[in-house]
Amino acid sequence: MIELKNFTDLNEQEIILVWQWRNDKKVNEFMHTKNFDIKEHKNFIHNLKQDMSKKYFLVFKNKEAIGVIDLVNIKKESCYFGLYAKPDLKGVGQILMDEVKKYAFEILKVKMLKAYVFKNNDKALNLYLKNNFEIEKENKEAIYIKLNNSLNS
């Protein structure tokens, strides 16, 4: 069973766990923000309580934390997303992707889901393309992708 736990509801142990994952070099090599300290992380989570344009979730499968999904720049029409698996955990990308799509399209009811992926992140790009995302544009660093909500089109 898959469960989402909002970052604003995480306990101290889960906050530290997410911070450790996010600072793991296998995760943060594909992030804009690199290493940050636990105080910055806790401030970020605290500020999420007032920011309705962002949703961050720790994802559990059968009560085990497997990754993180986020939806940001949430507007009526669209939002951007991100996801990452627990470092060294294989085979959960599709589960995380399914949860992103479900939350964006069924809960937020946006018409379009967007993301950008660094060009050197082949695993993520392949996952998105496998899920029918289209390449919108690219620059020398990143590829911008989008997926229309077939339910609300």
Contacting residues for 42 by C-beta, under 8 A, at least 6 apart: 15
**Is the pTM value of this prediction over 0.85?**
yes
Q: Is residue 57 scored above 60 in pLDDT?
A: yes
Q: What is the pLDDT of residues 9-43, one digit of tens each?
A: 999 999 999 999 999 988 888 877 777 899 999 99
Contacting residues for 121 by C-beta, under 8 A, at least 6 apart: 30
Q: Is residue 153 scored above 80 in pLDDT?
A: no
Q: Is residue 5 scored above 50 in pLDDT?
A: yes
Predicted pLDDT at 132? 96
Predicted pLDDT at 140? 93
Predicted pLDDT at 151? 59
DSSP string over 34-87: ----HHHHHHHHHHHTT-TT-EEEEEEETTEEEEEEEEES--SSEEEEEEEEPT
* DSSP 8-state code for residue 123: H
Q: Which domains does the chain have, with CATH numbers?
A: 2-148 (3.40.630.30)
Could you tell me how far CA 46 lies from the centroid of its own chain?
18
Q: What is the pLDDT of residues 58-103, one digit of tens each?
A: 999 999 999 999 999 999 999 999 999 999 999 999 999 999 999 9
Task: Give backbone dihedrals phi and psi of 114, rounded to 5 degrees, phi first.
Answer: -130, 160
Beta bridge partners of 88: none
